[in-house]
Amino acid sequence: MKKIVVLGAGIAGHTAALILKHKLGRNHQVIVVSPHDKYQWIPSNIWVGIGQMTAKQVSFPLEPVYRKKGIEFHQAKATAIYPEGTAENGSPFVAFEYTSESKTGQTGKVEYDFLINATGPKLNFAATEGLGPKGFTNSVCTYPHAEDSWKNLQISLEKMAKGEKQTFLIGTGHPTATCQGVAFEYALNVAFEISKRKLNEKAEIIWITNENEVGDFGMGGAFIKKGGYVTSTRVFAESILAEYGIRWITKAGVIKVEQGLAHYETLDGERHEQKFDFAMLIPSFAGTGLKAFDGSGEDITAKIFAPSGFMKVDADYTSRPYAEWSSADWPSTYQSPVYPNIFAAGIAFAVPHPISQPRTSKSGLAIFPTAPRTGMPSGVTGKVVALNIIDRIKNNHNESPHKASMARMGAACIISSGYGLRNGMAASMTVFPIVPDYKRFPDWGRDLNYTVGEPGLAGHWVKLLLHYLFIYKAKANPFWFLIPE
């Protein structure tokens, strides 16, 4: 019997755990270690943040699902990996601290034959002074954050209804933050709620971003087919913002937030301030702080993890100028080059380099988006890692035949606005590949047959459908495995 331990129960980890158990059955043990007792469908936190969905609609308890499937579950935070075991016991294991109320403060460990690091990111609000729910801004990164955002948004809406003007600042809260698409979507939904209440004259909505231009989305922008014409995502995104009356500030790195005031620097080196009444700014991401030790107890964290805290995998991390970066640098099996039985999926793996061109202000501040790995890429990498482990176990070999490089992977993104079968709208976009490949596609970097975008109500219907489909899949309901990532 082989023992597979999965750290994290987000999109990547949960997907991997379910597939592993489904394919391996009772002959092998699957164990999930996650600090949270609930699964959350993060893309729908946007709707929680505008009061159109509740926390119960985007989350559910993990333990009943894992018990039903025969998966062992520990509500705990992994603290350290011992890939060589210890001098007393040579079996690899993970050390953890329980986070459940009944076991708070207790520690434990679990041995493994294969390990999947799917811990996701640490929401690094502390990297920007005053950022986040404990500071002066809101977040939709988790459903509790989104619930609080809705409470605070209602305060501004009530003030507007009484005739008081409000300024909404939405975007990225760190010079190298990722997830521009999430913030962009939230800005549109806030604009929709304001318009629905006919309060537009009392609102100023500002999109602030570390992108060099609107529509970069952390993937260097793209050219898409829209209505039979080729257009840039910049034009696509700017037209949507303009339609909703949203002003934008680009090339901006937020460096400090105070009550009602954001300080930011632009690429020209100038410092600026922006007043706000309500702000939702995405933080930077970092690794969760996992440590690693060898058999003698020596700290080998730097050997396994990048300085960001994310795990090194089968990527080319060689430091080179931007012009020399290649799509071939990107990982395809998400396997540790140091310990072949360790994998990292979803946001937990370290990217070899940004997709967007790095830029530095005149004062030396790096201001550009970090590469996204959320949503569809997380599910796909979780599946690929699981399939490679299954293949190794069943066929008793050390190969990883299943591959999913983001330079060979497409992604679909639906940016909704509003909620309901008749009132919503969405900008639907597919990109292939996520990482541009100018050797294969010299003109555009991507295949325009599969890189398309269209706004409209139909895309909103699709997003609603996907919400219920993926919640159904994550609950491991009958025939869940037929629903693709």
Rounded distance between C-alpha atoms, residue 199 and residue 154, angstroms: 13
| pLDDT at residue 422 tops 90 | no
pLDDT tens readout for residues 314-365: 999 999 999 999 999 999 999 999 999 999 999 999 999 999 999 999 999 9
Angle between helices 11-24 and 376-395 (to 10 degrees): 30
Of 71, 66, 69, which is closest to residue 3 (Cα–Cα)? 71
C-alpha to C-alpha distance for 140 and 209, rounded to whole angstroms: 16
- Residue 435 maps to a domain: no
pLDDT at 230 over 70: yes
Is 33 domain-assigned? yes
Are the beta carbons of 17 and 6 closer than 8 angstroms?
yes
Query: Binning pLDDT at 50, 70 and 90, where does residue 228 land?
Result: confident
Q: Among positive and negative, which fits the CA dihedral 274, 277, 280, 285?
A: positive
In the predicted model, is pLDDT for residue 225 greater than 80? no
- Can you give the CATH number for the domain in which 339 is found? 3.50.50.100
The domain total for the chain is 1
Could you give the angle at the alpha carbon of 240 between the alpha carbons of 359 and 43, nearest 5°? 75
Nearest 5°: CA angle at 91, between 89 and 95?
Answer: 90
Residue with tokens 């939904």: 189
State residue 414's pLDDT score. Answer: 80
Q: What is the pLDDT of residue 226?
A: 72
Q: Are 343 and 114 in contact, with CB atoms under 8 Å apart?
A: yes
Query: What distances in angstroms separate CA 354 from CA 220, 322, 371, one per listed residue?
Result: 9, 9, 5
Whether residue 16 lies inside any domain: the answer is yes
Under 8 Å between Cβ of 2 and 393: yes
pLDDT at 479: 95
On whether residue 30 sits in a domain, the answer given is: yes
What pLDDT shows up at residue 281? 98
Please count the other Cβ atoms lying within 10 Å of the Cβ belonging to residue 478.
Answer: 7
- Residue at token pair 């955002």: 149
Enter the pTM of the model: 0.95
Which pLDDT belongs to residue 321?
A: 94
- Helix 233-243, helix 180-196: angle, nearest 10: 30
Kindly report, residue by residue over 356-415, the tens digit of the pLDDT.
999 999 999 999 999 988 888 999 999 999 999 999 999 999 999 999 999 999 888 887
Residue 94 lies in a domain: yes
Is the confidence at residue 161, as pLDDT, over 70?
A: yes
Q: What is the mean pLDDT of residues 453-480?
A: 87
Closest CA to 133 of 147, 118, 154: 147
Give dist(CA 227, CA 426) in Å, integer. 15
Residue 356 lies in a domain: yes
What is the residue-averaged pLDDT of the chain? Answer: 94
Q: What is the percent of the chain where pLDDT is above 90? A: 85
Q: Is the pLDDT confidence value at 135 over 90?
A: yes
Domain boundaries, position 319: 3-123+285-395
6, 24 contact by CB (below 8 A): no
> What angle separates helix 180-196 from helix 143-161, to the nearest 10 degrees?
30
Residue 79 predicted with pLDDT over 80: yes
pLDDT, one tens digit per residue, over 2-38 is 999 999 999 999 999 999 999 999 999 999 999 999 9
CA distance 434 to 71: 33
**Does 134 score more than 80 pLDDT?**
yes
CA distance 196 to 434: 35
Residue 469: which pLDDT band, with cuts at 50, 70 and 90? very high
Residue 433 lies in a domain: no
Is the confidence at residue 420, as pLDDT, over 70? no
Q: Is 104 exposed, middle or buried (0-12, 13-18, 19+ CB in 10 A)?
A: exposed
Confidence at residue 485, expressed as pLDDT on a 0 to 100 scale:
87
Which residue type, as a one-letter code, is found at position 331? Answer: P
Residue 421 confidence (pLDDT)? 64
Task: Report the candidate in 325, 328, 350 with the shortest Cα–Cα distance to residue 337.
Answer: 350
On whether residue 15 sits in a domain, the answer given is yes
Mean pLDDT confidence for 44-59: 96
